[in-house]
Amino acid sequence: MNDWEWNLLEDKAGVEYVEIGGIAVKTGDRVRLHPKQGGDILDIALRGQLATIESIEEDYEGVRHICVVVDDDPGRDLGIMRQPGHRFFFTPAEVEPVGQASPTPAELSASASAVRPRILVAGIGNLFLGDDGFGVEVVRRLISRGGLPAAARVVDFGIRGLDLAYALQDGYEITILVDAFPHGKTPGTVSIVEPDTSEIAAAPNSLVEAHSMNPINILRMASAMNGSLNRILLVGCEPAFLGGEEGFMGLSEPVEAAVEEAVHATEALVGRLLDGAAA
């Protein structure tokens, strides 16, 4: 498939689950990759890798494809293949379920219809620009802890600006952005703020690049696409160092120390929002 065909595939509605070896797997489940023999050098590199299912897609011929994010991909956010985030597509025969039970299709359908995510928690930032990687690290810890309810979806967007813009069209009642937030505080200060979405929508739009992440530009683009924005909140941290001209991988000491505070603040915020309390 070429890029255009993959874009059409991603625009198609996702599939709730697929059965692999008698086990029903769904978005968020872990799998081990077994690319078919005779593939390219990338297939060889991915063979045996652990990955997380990001979505299950069905093309226009009814063939199902499993989209995954590789756990140990060092280029997950910057990327070397024109797609930061490195989402790879495999057939069900090329993946092996790892560590999950085998719910029945009826159980999967019931759970999918019962709980639809109301809140999107979006980690954004560039790991190669020092403290700009704050939001990415926070959501990774949130995902690994697994403490948020099913009504909240947590996604590491990294620098995938267009992906976030499209995600904002998916009907979430509230989006929580987690990002570095320079606003004159002591480095490592964690703040929760609510930007005025009407002001964002009214501002002149700027060019949005697929492989960059300017949150204000992304929100403006999302508003232009949909006509309105639902509630937006920001869990932000005052950075100490944003990488300089040559870039830098890793968080500064005060921002690293603030990550766990931001994880707890985000979990508490989601809880209050789902309980109907003001943030």
pLDDT per residue as tens digits for the range 3-28: 545 455 455 555 778 888 888 888 87
Biggest CA–CA distance in the chain, Å, is: 56
Mark whether 160 and 206 lie in a shared domain. Answer: yes
- List pLDDT tens digits, range 81-109: 334 456 788 888 999 988 655 555 555 55
Place of tokens 């949005």: 208
Domain boundary, last residue among 97, 132, 162: 97
Question: What is the torsional sign of CA 209, 210, 211, 215?
Answer: positive
CA nearest neighbour of 200 among 177, 180, 216, 182: 216
Q: Which two tokens stand for residue 144?
A: 């690994």
Residue 105 belongs to a domain: no
Q: Domain boundary at 49, 68, 97, which?
A: 97
What digits encode the pLDDT tens for the residues 159-191?
877 778 878 877 889 999 999 988 889 999 999
Angstrom CA distances, 51 to 72, 120, 162, 258, stand at 8, 21, 23, 28
Instruction: Output the pTM of the full model.
Output: 0.58
Q: What is the CATH number of the domain that holds 60?
A: 2.30.30.140
Q: Is residue 35 part of a domain?
A: yes
Q: Tell me, what's the pLDDT at 123?
A: 92
Q: Of 35, 28, 149, 31, whose CA–CA distance to 91 is shortest?
A: 35
Task: Tell me the residue range of the domain where 85 lies.
Answer: 12-97
What are the CA-CA distances from residue 5 to residues 46, 71, 117, 174, 190 (Å)?
22, 26, 28, 31, 42
Cβ pair 97, 25 in contact under 8 A:
yes
